[in-house]
Structure 1
């Protein structure tokens, strides 16, 4: 297995789970977008704020943090379920989608500590064509375009209605 500190350019959606030794109130969008936050993680550029998630694990005791990562977020946590559910305090989740493409390594310093890196493939495998009688059929077809003859007939009808109204108006005025 590769080093969890490395930031691979593999086309996988990854998340790094970091513990934070401080109050959750100290984490905010301003801090996340600051160079101090980037330096504390060993990054050159601050990550995109929408790619950083943080919360106090006390709020997840009923659902479980491992379950949140695996079921709700779709990451493969391997055998780390017990380790993740045993965590306490504040965690920060850093998604690879918000990192600068040139970043190669994550090297967190206190008050942050790396718990682990978890991934899932970005691309789904292609669906094989189904070759059964029940899969055969036609998609519903839309209305065919109007033919020039039909359009001409509609225009002629409109002209005749207009002429009839025009003649009726003159007969009424003259009469």
Structure 2
């Protein structure tokens, strides 16, 4: 059995890279969603199938597995580039987005072996203000909402006009 790996609960995005000692044809969505897969990884429940990726590294020899993890996927691989590119065989990538909350530890057993855990950098680039001509100025402001006093005044005006017409009609009829 491999050394267990605690699953961080900080909300960051992580990927666990595992080697698989078997043919890539054996890996499929039925296996990934099964209880035996979860048990082999030491998880309580199977991960979401869309959060598991697997392939034979021979298929990406030209591109490089370290480049795939670092550049294409955005994970911080640190100084592991040479080690990741030296891997051969089948790898399984397990993304933290597919793990359930009660899974707190990853303990893979054969035919799986843990290669490493990689996280996405938390540092966000600073927001840079827009300095173009079209970004200057203000947006047109809408009308402010009518106050209760204004609405009361409008109702009183309508009532007074109605009373004036009513009195004028009686004067005309009586006259």
Same fold (TM over 0.5): yes
What is residue 12 of structure 2 aligned with on the other side?
A: 12
Aligned 1:44-123 pairs, distance under 5 A: 44-121=44-121
Deviations 1:129-170 (A, max 9, x none): x386868514787xx9xxxxxxxxxxxxxxxxxxxxxxxxxx
- Closer/same/farther in 2, CA of residues 98 and 36 from structure 1, 3 Å limit: same
C-alpha separation between the residues in 1 aligned to 2:117 and 2:99? 14
What is residue 151 of structure 1 aligned with on the other side?
A: none
C-alpha separation between the residues in 2 aligned to 1:101 and 1:135? 47
C-alpha separation between the residues in 1 aligned to 2:40 and 2:7? 16
Deviations 1:36-71 (A, max 9, x none): 000000000000000000000000010000000000
What is residue 28 of structure 1 aligned with on the other side?
A: 28
Cα-Cα RMSD? 2.8
- Please list every run of at least 4 consecutive aligned residues from structure 1 whose deviation after the TM superposition is greater than 6 angstroms: none
Deviation at 1:124, TM superposition (A): 3.8
Larger deviation, residues 4-13 vs 107-116: 4-13
C-alpha separation between the residues in 1 aligned to 2:5 and 2:31? 22
Deviations 1:45-98 (A, max 9, x none): 000000000000000010000000000000000000011000000000000000
Q: Mind listing any 5+ residue stretches in structure 1 that lack a counterpart?
A: 145-175
What is residue 158 of structure 1 aligned with on the other side?
A: none
**SS of aligned partner of 1:44:** coil
Normalising by structure 2, report the TM-score.
0.72
What is residue 39 of structure 2 aligned with on the other side?
A: 39
What is residue 156 of structure 2 aligned with on the other side?
A: none
Aligned residue-pair number = 141
**SS of aligned partner of 1:12:** coil
Q: Mind listing any 5+ residue stretches in structure 2 that lack a counterpart?
A: 143-175
C-alpha separation between the residues in 1 aligned to 2:11 and 2:115? 22
- Closer/same/farther in 2, CA of residues 133 and 47 from structure 1, 3 Å limit: closer
- Closer/same/farther in 2, CA of residues 122 and 37 from structure 1, 3 Å limit: farther
